[in-house]
Amino acid sequence: MFKKLAFVLALAASVQVAHSTNIYPLNGNRVVGEEHVYKVDTQGTTTLEYVAAEYHLGLSNMIEANPEVDPIVPVKGVSLIIPTKLILPDTVHEGIIVNSAEMRLYYYNGGNVEVYPIGIGQLGKGTPIAWVTKVERKRANPTWTPTASTRAEYAAAGEYLPAVFPAGPDNPMGLFALYVGRLYAIHGTNADFGIGLRVSHGCVRLRNDDNEQLFYKVPVGTRVEFINVPIKYCEEPNGDLYIEVHQPLSRTQSEFDNFDEKVPFTFTNAQLEFFKDPRINKDILERALHERSGRPVLLNPVEFD
């Protein structure tokens, strides 16, 4: 499916969209935000990438929440679910958390958490999935030094990269970079597409507006944690039980090429124990694990006679 998206991504790159930052107050709940509905205009000019950018989401978030909608040419007048309600990852609420499975970056800033959509590493060039590090340094107008293998890959496609790609708007790293650890960066892009997709050579890619905001807010030394958690779940203070299920990242070329087929889960012991909770409606749980909508699902709704 992602190969099919080349046209829509190129189209979306030329569209200017108003961004609105997703900032959620930390109030003791793990479930934050509210969903919205967007009605596709009658002129037929809307794409899922256009709507994703407008609502500060990645393309994969929109595809998961609207699986029956053509991402390139949505039916005129169709109502799209905007998945801006989510479960915060079950990890320390400090600094930056990158959850590759859901294509989101969380930045805990004071009493709020800011959520940004991201693009991650291609298959075989993966973004780290279980690593704690920190922001080592920051650089405006970064240069890019492609590896020998990257230069060979581009050359095979007829594009010859310089040893050092100069700073500027054409640089694939965009205009701002946060260097994490020794080998990776959180940076912008010269294309402004591919957010919510596996497109990079391992780094974390953001839309340029998002990247600039993050660059000026995040100090050097900030804790950064990479995780790969397709299933998030929680119990809220009022006793509500929620689960949010995303499609796991492809682990093989076959899984990646057959995107419409579901990648199998590898459940953790903690998840299996949670599934045994007698308060959970097992039919709702099974449906959530099957649909993988990327949306929080209430597992113990109040039932009335």
Catalytic site positions: 187, 203
Tell me 282's DSSP state: H
Q: How far apart are CA 269 and CA 3, in angstroms?
A: 35
Nearest to 196 by CA among 278, 261, 120: 120
Non-local CB neighbours of 34 within 8 Å, separated by 6+ positions: 84, 85
Q: How far apart are the first and last CA of the chain?
A: 44
Q: How many helices (H) and strands (E) does the chain have?
A: 8, 18
> Is the Cα torsion angle 282, 36, 265, 70 positive or negative in sign?
positive
Q: Within 10 Å of residue 57's Cβ, how many Cβ atoms?
A: 26
Rounding to the nearest 10 degrees, give the CA dihedral for residues 33, 185, 195, 206: 60
With tokens 């492609």, the residue in question is 146
Of how many residues is the chain composed?
A: 305
Question: Which H/E stretch holds residue 65?
Answer: helix 59-65
Q: How far apart are CA 173 and CA 191, in angstroms?
A: 10
Q: How far apart are CA 118 and CA 178, in angstroms?
A: 14
Q: How far apart are CA 274 and CA 29, in angstroms?
A: 18
